[in-house]
Structure formats: C-alpha cells, structure tokens
Amino acid sequence: MNNFKLFAIAGLSFLLISPTENTSGLLIERPGNEQTPCTVESVKTTPGNWSVDPFTMLPSNPALPALVKNLQKEAELVHKALGGFTGFDAKCYLYVADNPFIKKTPHRLEVNVPFYHYYCDNGKLMVEDEYSDGALVYSNSTWPMGGVGGIKLGTKVCRTLGSPIGNIRGYPAFEADWTGSPAGSTFTWIVLVTKKEKPLFRYASKAEILDYLVQMAAKSRTENQASIDQYVVIRPESVQTEERKKELASFLDGATSESARQSRTERFNKDYRNDQQKKDDTKKKATEEANKVSANITAVRARYSPEQLNEPGYVQDWLLNNNNGFSDNNFDFVQPKTDPFCRPTDNTGCPMGKPLAIYNSQYFDPALPSTSAQYFTVAFRWTAGKSDKFRNLQGEKLRDEFFARFDFDELAAILGK
C-alpha cells in the first residue's frame, strides 16, 4: 500500500448545505467580537470555540460509567487533534443509538464534531447554523466509509469499505465516495484502528466477487422469468379476438382505397402479437439480457490469470447494488484510489475501487460488553467547490494537521475497555 505524506497547504473553504442543529434556520451572531469589524481575513484567524453537548443519559447500568468515560476520552483526542483551530466553532456530540445494554453484539457509539464556519454579515462576525465539515470517531462501525452492506459471499456476510489510499501514521486509511451537489462536494478520509494481533477482516478476491455476481445473475434470471409469468396475463381467446378487430379497424381508418386497406391489413397482421406471443417475446428478451450478463462476467474472468483472480478485487458500489450494473459491456474491477489530489471534473473521475471486507469472526471478543470498542474509525470531512476545481486548501491543511496530531495509539488503548 502507498504511504501518503501529510501536506500542509492553505486556502479557502466552500460550505454546502447539510443537516442542521438549529432548525429555525436563523443565523447566529458570534458573541465577543462586537468591537472588531469583521473582514474576510479576520474570519480565517478568529479563534474557534470548542463545546461538548450534554450527554443524553441512558438507562442505569454498571457499564454506563465506562461507556461515558471512553466517549469523553475519544472527544478529547479529537479536541487535541484540532489544535488551536480558527474560523469555526466545533461542537462535540456524544451519541449512542438506542439502548446498548440489551445487545450482545458490539454496539455503534459516536463522537461527532461538526464545524460551524464563521462569516461576515454587515461587519459582524456570524456563525453558520449548517455544516458539512467535521471530525468523527465511531466505535464498532465503518459507517463513515459508506458502502454497501449485507452482501453474502457464500456463507460469509461482508460489505464494501472506502477506497484504500495507503497508511496514515501506520494505520490503514480510506476515502469514502464523494457526496454533494453540482456546485461542490464533500470529501471524507477515514483511518481504521484495530487490535494488532488479529485482522478485523480480509478482502474478497476477484474470483469470490465474480462467483457472487454469477449467483446474482442466476437469481435475477429466475426472478425475472417468474415475474413475467405472474404479471403478463393470457386473456381468453374471445377477448383477444374482439380487441384485434377494434385495433385493425382503427389502423384502417383513413385508408381511401381497397389497395390501401389491403396493404394496411397485411402490415397489421404481420406486426400483430397475441398475448402468448407477447409473453414469449418478453421472456426471450429477458433471457437474452441474462445471457449477456453471464457472458460479460465470463469475459471479465478470462482477463485474469488464476493468480490474479486470487488477489483482492476492488469494485464500485453500483456493481453490487442489485441493479445489474455488471450487464455493462465495459464493466471490470477498478483500481483503488492512488492520487490524494485527484478530484472529480466535468469529463473524468478518479479510480475509486473499494474492497469487499469479509469480517473475521475470530477477531471479536464475545466476552466483552456490547459497549466496549472493538475497533474504531476516525474520519475527517471537508468540502470544496467546483469553481475551485474541488480543492479546498484550507480544509486540506486542517485535515493533514488533524491526522498528524491525532493520537491513534492512545485511541487504540481504549479497545476492549
């Protein structure tokens, strides 16, 4: 894997609309700067505020103090990694979905720190009430990577991860799919922190993925034929005959000579399809499409040697999303992202191949409570506008500084606690 260097570069940011914490939609004036006129430059250098939202209490449980303590430790690691940040407020939310104490499997726990950027309004320093940028720490979840889950390779359940981009300070790093609007996009880098002694997962091979696609294609073939049998109804012959007469009469309307009527009648009879013929045609077309899919999968397999087929396969999510994307004549495996500066443009994209992670059941310790972190994902998000060629130098600089300062080893020490 490639080891990325951390780049320190400065520039401008671009804000996209995201879920809000202030549902009123009102803009918030930042207190404490009434005597200083706000300028574009002063916005960049205004020290930011850090705050922690009160933790929502959970039902009383012996494991609750340890849970809260660990979340607070994780939040403080984010705080330290941000350093003396400027230009935005960072508000930390500690979140636990549902009641984790009734589960037996590892529970998702979240430290979510959105950045609320500053801006000027009539000389006053204001704080946006909407955000896209931020930092996150998730326990027992790869959610920040996005991807498709619930995929079954034989008896193994797996999901796609982000596209591998190398290592950051010794820990594997990924980039999630870009999200946003035509005006700009949100980018996310994620670092995975796991126990060193056992792998959390392995990547599915090209052969395993192709076998899975064969199963999907066979299932789709059967389901399509069954759907045709269910929904394409063969009506009584008398009903079809009466309808045919009406359609022919309509088709002959306007024919002013016998030869014209005869010509139109011959054309109508040639093109007419009764219900059984229509059903047979639909089934034939579905079979041809299914055969095309199977042929495409076979063609992809033939491009690789046996050794290459045993290597990890990197794919796009749509390939696995039950939409027959692999019926495309040009479908193939995709290389993982290799260029940290590659961004979407009008005409080209970047290779963003993602692995299928098959989780190692032996990695997880069943003796631990569900609230214990068994692995972490640490994510940083920043936005960039199309007008800036999807580069946000200030956001990228903060990202690099964040990962340079984040104490991954201290986070790893929380595993199993």
The 10s digit of each residue's pLDDT in 287-326 is: 998 998 899 899 999 999 999 999 999 987 666 655 555 6
- Per-residue confidence (pLDDT) for residue 159, from 0 to 100: 87
- Per-residue confidence (pLDDT) for residue 19, from 0 to 100: 33
Mean pLDDT of the chain: 84
The 10s digit of each residue's pLDDT in 137-196 is: 999 999 888 877 778 887 888 888 999 999 999 999 999 988 776 667 889 999 999 998
pTM for the full model?
0.80
- Per-residue confidence (pLDDT) for residue 75, from 0 to 100: 96
* pLDDT surpassing 60 at residue 1: no
Model confidence at 56, in pLDDT bands (50, 70, 90)?
low
SS (H, E, C) the chain: CCECCCCCCCCCCCCCCCCECCCCCCCEECCCCCCCCCCHHHHHHCECCEEECCCCCCCCCCCHHHHHHHHHHHHHHHHHHHCCCECEEEEEEEEECCCHHHCCCCCCEEEEEEEEEEEEECCEEEECCECCCEEEEEECCCHHHCCCCCEEECCEEEEECCEEEEEECCEEEEECCCEEECCEEEEEEEEEECCCCCCCEEECEHHHHHHHHHHHHHHHHHHHHHHHHHHCCCCCHHHHHHHHHHHHHHHHCCCCCHHHHHHHHHHHHHHCCCHHHHHHHHHHHHHHHHHHHHHHHHHHHHCCCHHHHCCECEECHHHHCCCCHHHCCCCCCCCCCCCCCCCCCCCCCCCCCEEEEEECCCCCCCCCCCCCCCCEEEEEEEEEEHHHCCCCHHHHHHHHHHHHHCCHHHHHCCCCC
Min mean pLDDT across 171-180, 243-252, 403-412 is at 171-180
* pLDDT surpassing 90 at residue 399: yes
